[in-house]
Amino acid sequence: MLLALAAVPVLIAVAVRLSSSPPEPGRGPPFLDRVTQNGLFVSITALVVCIPLFLPLTVGVVAGDTIAGEANLGTLRYLLVVPAGRVRLLLVKFAGAAAFCLAATLTVVASGALIGAALFPVGPVTLLSGDTISVGESILRSLLVAGYVTVSLLGLSAIGLFISTLTVVPVGAMAATIVLSVVAQVLGALPQFEWLHPWLFSHYWLDFADLLRQPIAWTSFGDNALLQAGYAAVFGALAYGRFVTKDILS
């Protein structure tokens, strides 16, 4: 899965490199036009492309598999008989899913930076505000963005964890999690549900760009972290309630 994620920036970079005319500003995914000028933008463009579907997809697979996958293999009962402890198992599984979110995001960012550096010139990076920062600081910003995206995915991970405790069919849990992430984004795009928007876990997903302003706009980072923490707490508690009372019959 990480390999597939790593392939996205490569695909973007190669496509831009091979196309005869450079992308026009304002067309295609944001930042695409900057790629030819500065390879470091491949990471950011790739993230923009991955966030709506590809990252939630992989996170859904991983989070949906956490408990249901173990139950399906029959390993869950052995872990519990060890005893691994149900709460501890949930925490470890959530930590694992969170680690995957980080790994997935870093994979996209790192692979984007590498392929970008290989195919395009690298130099000082222009921020959204028009200010320019050094390559070193831009790497720092990329890591910040990776952190932001990782945090963004934690709510979805918690939802996946909860769904995963409901079933012994991992594919069902994965599908349900992914479907939810799509539904959240669809709702987020409908003005009729405006009152709901700030409550959707996908609400701040694309606002990582606020880290690319000068000075950094931290508000969305804080709001996002708070929202994701709320989701993690609610669905973590639900997963706890479900899992500690669950009969392990698989």
Partner 1 sequence: MTRVYLRWVPAAVVTAVITAGALAVPLQAGASVDLPDKTPQEVLELIGDSTKDSLSGTIEQTSNLGLPDLSAGGSAGGSAGGDEAASALELLTGDHTARVYVDGHDKKRVQVMDRMAERDLIINGYDVWLWDSKENTATHVAVPPHDKGDFPKPGDTPTPAELAEKFLEAVDPATEVTVDDDTEVAGRTAYDLVLTPRSSEDTLVGSVSIAVDSETGLPLRVQVTAQGETEPAFLLEFTELSLETPDADIFEFEPPPGATVKEKELPEHPSKDGKTDGDHDDFPGEVSGSGWDTVIELPAGSAPAELTESPMFAQATEAVDEGAVLSTTLLNILITDDGRVYVGSVPVERLQSAAAGG
Partner 2 sequence: MGEQPNPAVELAIETRGLTKRFGHQTAVNAVDLAVPRGSVFGFLGPNGSGKTTTIRLALGLAAATSGQVSVLGQTMPGRLKDVLPRVGALVEGPGFYPFLSGAANLHRLDSADRYAPSATRRARVHRALDRVGLGHAAGKKVGAYSLGMKQRLGLANALLMPRELLVLDEPTNGLDPQGTREVRNLVRSLAAEGTTVFVSSHLLAEVEQMCSHIAVMSVGSLVAQGTLDELRRAGESRVRVRTPDIAAALRVLAALGLAPEQTEPPGRAGGDGNDDSHDDGVVSAPLAPDSRPAEAIVAALVAGGVRVRGFTVERASLEDRFVALTGEGFDIAQ
The residues that touch partner 1, with contacts defined as CB under 8 A, are: 25-31, 33-34, 37-38, 48, 123-124, 126, 128-132, 191, 199, 206-207, 209-210, 213-215, 217, 219, 230, 233-234, 236-238, 240-242, 244-245
Q: Which residue has the tokens 């597939």?
A: 4
CB of 127 vs partner 1, minimal distance in Å: 8
Lookup: tokens for 209: 């760009």
Nearer to partner 2, 94 or 231 (CB): 94
CB of 243 vs partner 2, minimal distance in Å: 12
**CA atoms of 137 and 174, how far apart (whole Å):** 37
Of these partners, partner 2, partner 1, none, which one is at the site of residue 213 (CB under 5 to 8 Å by kind)? partner 1
Nearer to partner 2, 79 or 187 (CB): 79
Cα angle for residues 110, 116, 117 (degrees, 5° grid) = 90
Lookup: tokens for 224: 């996002």
Nearer to partner 1, 75 or 129 (CB): 129
Of these partners, partner 2, partner 1, none, which one is at the site of residue 79 (CB under 5 to 8 Å by kind)? partner 2
Footprint on this chain of partner 2 (rule: CB under 8 A): 73-85, 245, 247-249
CB of 96 vs partner 1, minimal distance in Å: 21
The secondary structure of residue 22, as a DSSP letter, is P
Of these partners, partner 2, partner 1, none, which one is at the site of residue 233 (CB under 5 to 8 Å by kind)? partner 1
CB of 165 vs partner 2, minimal distance in Å: 14
104-113 b/e (C-beta count within 10 Å ≥ 16 → b)? bbbbbbbbbb
56-74 b/e (C-beta count within 10 Å ≥ 16 → b)? bbbbbbbbbbbbbbbbbee
CB of 239 vs partner 1, minimal distance in Å: 8
Of these partners, partner 1, partner 2, none, which one is at the site of residue 237 (CB under 5 to 8 Å by kind)? partner 1
Sequence-separated (6 or more) residues with CB below 8 Å from residue 100? 58, 59, 62, 157
Taking Cα atoms as reference points, which of 234, 39, 10, 28 lies closest to residue 123? 39
* Cβ contact 175:56 at 8 Å: no
CB of 26 vs partner 1, minimal distance in Å: 5
Of these partners, partner 2, partner 1, none, which one is at the site of residue 27 (CB under 5 to 8 Å by kind)? partner 1
